[in-house]
Amino acid sequence: MTKYSYKARDGQGRLIEEELEATSRLEVEDKLRHLEYIPIQINELRDRKKKIVLLKKKIKLTDMALMFRQMATMINAYLPIVATLTIVAKQTANPTLEESLNHIRYRVEAGSSLSEALAEFPDIFTQLHIHMIKVAEEAGLLGTILDRLSLIVEHEQETRDRIKSATRYPKIVVFGLGVAFVILMSFVVPRFAGIYSKFKVDLPLPTRVMVGMNNIFQHFWWAVIIAGILAFLGIRYILSTSEGRLRWDTLRLRFYVFGPLMLKISMSRFSRILSMMIRSGVPIVQALQNVGATMENVVLEGTVKLIEEAIIEGKSLAEPMAVSRYFPDMVVQMVSVGEQTGQLDELLEKTADYYDREVDYTIQHLAALLEPLLLLGLAVVVLFFALAIFLPMWDVMSLFHH
């Protein structure tokens, strides 16, 4: 519960200034209406320390997985959704999630569906969560879908952890190169530049580039910082536009190693969620609408939209998938066989299992796959600094010999 202060006028027009406890601002408004007060101002009261904690406390995927599993257990035990939300909110150790669940409970009590209440928190609940729960509400399978959601979130967290672990060595190498670059630019290059300036020798191109970079960092560091901030804001703005997001998501699918890995993860998610919805009796067009919203890539989302439109025109599921460049032949063949045998949900489930294994294999060998690219980058950087430092020394030595 949270304390709120409010200003309101009663039926006789008198100003009332008091405090009360509620789960949300909406609940305060509701209580004031029951008292026949006209609210003027409502402010949340929270001490500074608690506010800082709430701002810093992020919701981890492990918190989400535990929440979905607890909700699934209680729903399967025939507990009402309001009671379930109340209990889960009390049991969670994350204050941000607790406050969100209390607000969701109040919205459900006011007549909203669970999916509609979750949609008010897009920073916490993804389109995958919202659409799957919406389907579960329509199919009467809320407990089953919540349990499946917990498994999906747990698998996503495990995949992220494994990718972080596999890329730890490349990150250390890149960080080391960055530190070496800063040290060279701050201490080594200025001394060499001072030495070379005493000799009337034309500096080689690598050395001129390095000296120019040093001058920029030494005398125009503020411009570098401003340029970096402007570049960051510019990229954020471009990605916020539909055209920019489309180009970026297209590029992401072409990244070395990570592009194919992202596509495998998307194929696994597509197959598993579509299988689950078909098994739950959701019509194929509606199932594709919900799956498309969970792809987290506008290119793949658009591709699923085209498949949906082709099915409305009377085509089979496999036909538009075969035309698409993003669905591998293996997925198309499994879908085609599933449509012909009437076992589409089972074959999609097997397809998802196959791509889960492919994702696991790729992550296990991620460091080895990145090693050639890492060595090439390291060789280029070392070669550049070696040429920039030693080429002028050879010219100076030849000048002494003459």
pLDDT tens digit sequence for 149-163? 888 888 888 888 888
Confidence at residue 56, expressed as pLDDT on a 0 to 100 scale: 45
When mean pLDDT is compared across 148-152, 304-308, 391-395, the lowest value belongs to 391-395
With b meaning 16 or more CB within 10 Å and e meaning fewer, what string describes 27-50? bbbebbeeeebebeebeeeeeeee
pLDDT category of residue 55 using cuts at 50, 70 and 90: very low
Confidence at residue 320, expressed as pLDDT on a 0 to 100 scale: 92
Confidence at residue 232, expressed as pLDDT on a 0 to 100 scale: 93
**Which two three-digit tokens encode residue 92?**
């969670």
The model's pLDDT over 244-271, given as tens digits with 9 standing for 90+, comes to 888 999 999 999 889 999 999 999 989 9
Three-state secondary structure call for residue 15: strand
Query: Is the pTM above the cut of 0.75?
Result: no
Between CA 201 and CA 211 the distance in angstroms is 14
The amino acid that residue 110 corresponds to is A
Confidence at residue 47, expressed as pLDDT on a 0 to 100 scale: 46
What Å distances lie between residue 249 and 159, 259, 327, 328, CA to CA? Answer: 20, 10, 16, 18
Average pLDDT over residues 170-196: 79
